[in-house]
């Protein structure tokens, strides 16, 4: 998702409480941060500003335990009898991500500005995946994205998504002047590769720059045979590696085998090239080349297909749904990625929560979290609240209301809503909506969200990157697969650190998958890994990786890293139904389409309901879910 200069993005190719961790002892200790004293919690409303908390974030401790307890016991009664609150809301939204916030927005548009809405979320911050990571260093603010980064491919967005973005003040045209996409190129920086000694015999950071594949390969710590194969893979556009097959047969073959199998058995590349390529798809698909049908890699423009005589748009449904090519540049993001979309939504829903009225001024606006949940506003956003039960109190058709029970600070509470939109994760819904028909529960449980780690380190300066001539690094053997400098964005009061002497937020991504297992098994294992890995492990790996890459040019991890925030997302990217072994679903049978059917006054939003991990899908699903509700 963060591959600079890549015009063709995931969108072109992608057409539960899944893991219960029993008896899990989380070893995540209070986060330790260099040069910062970390507050383990919040003492008062004035201190409550979650973006500034460093350490282990994302699905932070305190956010997931109630849901896992429910999944283990399958009985909301384990939390005790809920205390009833006397408020009747028009709408209760479960989940405060972009989809839940959008549902509140659409509901107000449909039913009027005075409707009473309560949004419940289990995290200590709003935005779901679209949260902000903020650092304050020597009195200056630096920021990055905790998860959702780009408004990807807006030319493909629906009218509803465009309208919502406009409603909250986003003018997409403005990003061309706020995003400086040529800064690094103009400074002579380009993509690099880090080869680690464990997998390639020695540690070496290389910059490809304008070198040809032949010249570049000669520098790589690989055997001569592997270098030749790598050059062949990237430059040979004439060999037909599927001889004797018609165009349709080729597409069928590529749809049925993984890219790994294609490279190994048909292109016949050297083992070391397979090691080099294994994580090539991590950022895009959240899994390695063993879990992705070769046809998707063909459509993504990965190497090895040039001599097959297939056109990129010329495929049948075996490889997934047809798609329109997204040619939008990757310029549509705020300094905090898409967290500013969440912030703009919250600012428009809850008056007085933050100053300002433009898409630019929201970036530096300090949000007053104590205003999120008061009786002064018709929309309330209640954090640290895990919903454990949603039940119609009248008939499950159009009469009555919905009881929503949630746990906050270990205690259960019950609120009533005329309507409820489930903008949480699909696999959670069967646990908390006992009334849903069994086939709908099965469909909702089908998907397996992808585990992801996005970490951020604030470094004192980025001279080491500048000296090495790299702004983004693919690390095929290392703990973190991608390491890259923040993308240059300047927005009203937020000045990007364009001088290498300035501090910089560095992004790290890790996809904890285990090649060789079926994709869903890999995702389940990955969730377990994420919830059992202490902050110190991430911290040590960040220090180790930066030290090994940049130590030779004077980088000292202990001295130069100022702070670290690790956003762990055991339930990360939406499952997109196109991994290896996935059936070729008909629209009406696809689990996300079956699972999102309305149930009386309860409807289902969130990006899982659209089967795609995108901002606009989260918005579109919210729109549909609200449209399904009537008085």
Ligand X SMILES: Cc1cc2nc3c(=O)[nH]c(=O)nc-3n(C[C@H](O)[C@H](O)[C@H](O)COP(=O)(O)OP(=O)(O)OC[C@H]3O[C@@H](n4cnc5c(N)ncnc54)[C@H](O)[C@@H]3O)c2cc1C
What mask, x for binding ligand X by CB under 6 A, covers residues 158 to 197? ----------------------------------------
* Among residues 54, 99, 161, 420, the one that binds ligand X under rule CB under 6 A: 99
Pair 217, 285: CB distance under 8 Å: no
CB of 524 to ligand X, least distance (A): 16
Q: Evaluate the CA torsion angle 594, 595, 596, 601 in order and state its sign.
A: positive
Query: Do residues 122 and 386 touch, judged by C-beta distance below 8 A?
Result: yes
Instruction: Determine if 424 is a binding residue for ligand X (CB under 6 A).
Output: yes
Q: Which is nearer to ligand X, 59 or 440 (CB)?
A: 59
Q: Could you say whether residue 569 binds ligand X (CB under 6 A)? A: yes
- Taking alpha carbons only, the member of 295, 302, 2, 312 closest to residue 152 is 2
Closer CB to ligand X, residue 143 or residue 217?
A: 143
Residue whose C-alpha is closest to residue 36's, from 134, 147, 144: 134
For position 98 contacting ligand X by CB under 6 A, the verdict is yes
Among 190, 447, 484, 607, binds ligand X (CB under 6 A): 607
List of residues 6+ apart from 550 with CB closer than 8 A: 205, 464, 465, 468
The correct pick among 383, 618, 626, 629 for binding ligand X (CB under 6 A) is: 618
DSSP SS3 for 460: coil
Query: DSSP 3-state assignment of 28?
Result: coil
Choose the stretch contacting ligand X; rule: CB under 6 A; options: 184-192, 483-491, 520-528, 568-576.
568-576
Task: Pick out residues in 362-401 that bind ligand X (CB under 6 A).
Answer: 386-387
Distance CA 564, CA 311 (A): 44
Figure out which of the listed residues 428, 436, 491, 602 binds ligand X, where binding follows CB under 6 A.
428
CA separation for the pair 349, 357 (Å, rounded): 12
- How far is residue 497's CA from residue 493's CA, in Å, rounded to a whole number? 12
Measured from the CB atom, is 148 or 258 closer to ligand X? 148
| Region binding ligand X by CB under 6 A among candidate stretches 25-33, 89-97, 269-277, 535-543 | 89-97
Please give the size of the binding site for ligand X, defined by CB under 6 A.
40
Q: Which is nearer to ligand X, 235 or 325 (CB)?
A: 325
- The answer to whether 429 contacts ligand X (rule: CB under 6 A) is no
* Residue 573 binding ligand X, by CB under 6 A: yes
Full strand arrangement of the beta sheet holding 470-474: 55-58, 561-569, 452-459, 504-510, 482-485, 470-474, 190-195, 204-207
Q: Rounded distance, CA 29 to CA 51, Å?
A: 19
Instruction: Tell me how far, at minimum, the Cβ of 471 lies from ligand X, in Å.
Output: 18
What values do phi and psi take at 412, rounded to 5? -85, 140
Q: Which helix (H) or strand (E) holds 91?
A: strand 83-94
The only residue of 18, 97, 469, 600 in contact with ligand X, by rule CB under 6 A: 97
Of 257 and 381, nearer to ligand X (C-beta) is 381
Closest by Cα among 106, 216, 213 to 163: 106
- What distance in Å separates the CA atoms of residue 408 and residue 411, rounded to the nearest whole number? 5
425 binds ligand X (CB under 6 A): yes
Q: Interface mask (CB under 6 A) for ligand X, residues 109-148, using x and -?
A: -----------xxxx----xxx----------------xx
In the complex with ligand X, the residue whose CB is nearer, 232 or 380, is 380
**Residue 149 in contact with ligand X, rule: CB under 6 A:** yes
Q: Which helix (H) or strand (E) holds 276?
A: helix 271-277
Question: 258 or 426: whose CB is closer to ligand X?
Answer: 426
Alpha-carbon distance 138 to 586, whole Å?
56
Per-residue binder mask for ligand X (CB under 6 A), 22-41, x = binder: --------------------
Question: Quick one: 340 exposed, middle or buried, by C-beta within 10 A (0-12, 13-18, 19+)?
Answer: buried
Q: How far is the CB of 383 from ligand X (least distance, A)?
A: 9
CA-to-CA distance for 564 and 34, rounded, in angstroms? 8
Smallest gap, in angstroms, from Cβ of residue 500 to ligand X? 26
In degrees and rounded to multiples of 5, residue 312 shows phi and psi of -60, -35
Residue whose CB is less far from ligand X, 274 or 592: 592
User: For residues 315-334, which are near ligand X according to CB under 6 A?
Assistant: none
Q: Which is nearer to ligand X, 123 or 347 (CB)?
A: 123
**Would you tell me which residues interact with ligand X (CB under 6 A)?**
1, 67, 94-100, 120-123, 128-130, 147-150, 152, 386-387, 423-425, 428, 432, 452, 454, 569, 572-574, 606-607, 613-615, 618
């Amino acid at each position: 998702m963060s591959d600079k200069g890549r015009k063709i993005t995931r969108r072109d190719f992608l057409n539960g409480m899944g893991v219960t961790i029993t008896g899990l002892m989380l070893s995540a200790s209070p986060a330790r941060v260099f040069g910062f004293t970390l507050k383990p919690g919040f003492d008062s409303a004035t201190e409550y500003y979650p973006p500034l908390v460093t350490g282990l974030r994302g699905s932070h401790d305190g956010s997931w335990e109630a849901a896992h307890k429910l999944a283990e016991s399958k009985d909301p009664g384990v939390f005790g009898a809920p205390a009833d609150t006397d408020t009747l809301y028009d709408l209760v939204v479960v989940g405060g991500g972009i989809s839940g916030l959008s549902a509140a927005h659409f509901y107000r548009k449909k039913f009027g500005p005075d409707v009473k809405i309560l949004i419940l979320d289990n995290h200590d911050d709003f935005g779901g995946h679209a949260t902000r990571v903020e650092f304050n260093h020597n009195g200056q603010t630096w920021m990055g994205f905790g998860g959702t980064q780009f408004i990807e491919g807006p030319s493909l967005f629906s009218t509803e998504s465009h309208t919502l973005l406009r409603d909250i003040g986003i003018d997409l045209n403005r990003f061309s002047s706020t995003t400086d996409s040529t800064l690094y190129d103009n400074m002579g920086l380009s993509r690099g590769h880090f080869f680690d000694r464990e997998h390639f015999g020695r540690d070496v950071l290389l910059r490809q720059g304008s070198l040809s594949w032949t010249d570049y390969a000669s520098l790589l710590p690989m055997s001569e045979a592997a270098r030749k194969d790598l050059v062949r893979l990237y430059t040979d556009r004439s060999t037909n590696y599927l001889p004797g097959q018609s165009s349709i047969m080729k597409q069928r073959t590529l749809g049925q085998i993984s890219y790994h199998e294609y490279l190994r058995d048909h292109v016949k590349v050297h083992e070391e090239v397979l090691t080099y390529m294994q994580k090539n798809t991590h950022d895009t698909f959240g899994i390695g080349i063993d879990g992705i049908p070769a046809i998707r890699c063909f459509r993504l423009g990965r190497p090895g297909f040039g001599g097959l005589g297939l056109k990129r748009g010329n495929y049948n449904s075996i490889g997934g749904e047809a798609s329109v090519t997204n040619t939008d540049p990757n310029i549509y993001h705020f300094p905090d990625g898409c967290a500013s979309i969440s912030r703009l939504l919250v600012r428009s829903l809850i008056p007085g929560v933050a100053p300002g009225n433009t898409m630019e001024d929201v970036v530096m606006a300090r949000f007053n979290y104590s205003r999120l949940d008061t009786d002064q506003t018709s929309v309330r956003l209640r954090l640290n609240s895990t919903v454990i039960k949603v039940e119609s109190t009248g008939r499950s058709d159009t009469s009555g209301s919905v009881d929503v029970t949630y746990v906050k600070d270990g205690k259960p509470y019950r609120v009533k809503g005329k309507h409820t939109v489930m903008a949480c994760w699909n696999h959670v819904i069967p646990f908390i909506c006992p009334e849903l028909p069994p086939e709908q529960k099965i469909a909702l449980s089908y998907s397996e969200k992808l585990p992801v780690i996005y970490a951020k380190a604030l470094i004192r300066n980025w001279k080491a990157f500048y000296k090495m001539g790299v702004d983004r690094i693919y690390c095929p053997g290392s703990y973190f697969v991608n390491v890259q400098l923040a993308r240059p964005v300047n927005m009203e009061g937020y000045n990007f650190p364009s001088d290498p002497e300035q501090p910089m937020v560095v992004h790290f991504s890790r996809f904890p998958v285990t090649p060789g297992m079926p994709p869903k098994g890999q995702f389940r294992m990955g969730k377990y890994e994420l919830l059992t890995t202490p902050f110190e492990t991430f911290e040590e790996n960040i220090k180790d990786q930066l030290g090994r890459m940049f130590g030779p040019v004077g980088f000292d991890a202990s001295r130069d890293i100022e702070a670290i925030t690790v956003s762990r997302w055991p339930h990360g990217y939406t499952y997109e139904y196109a991994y290896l072994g996935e059936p070729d679903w008909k629209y009406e049978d696809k689990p996300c389409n079956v699972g999102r059917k309305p149930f009386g006054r309860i409807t289902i939003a969130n990006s899982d309901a659209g089967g795609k991990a995108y901002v606009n899908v989260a918005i579109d699903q919210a729109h549909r879910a609200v449209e399904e509700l009537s008085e």
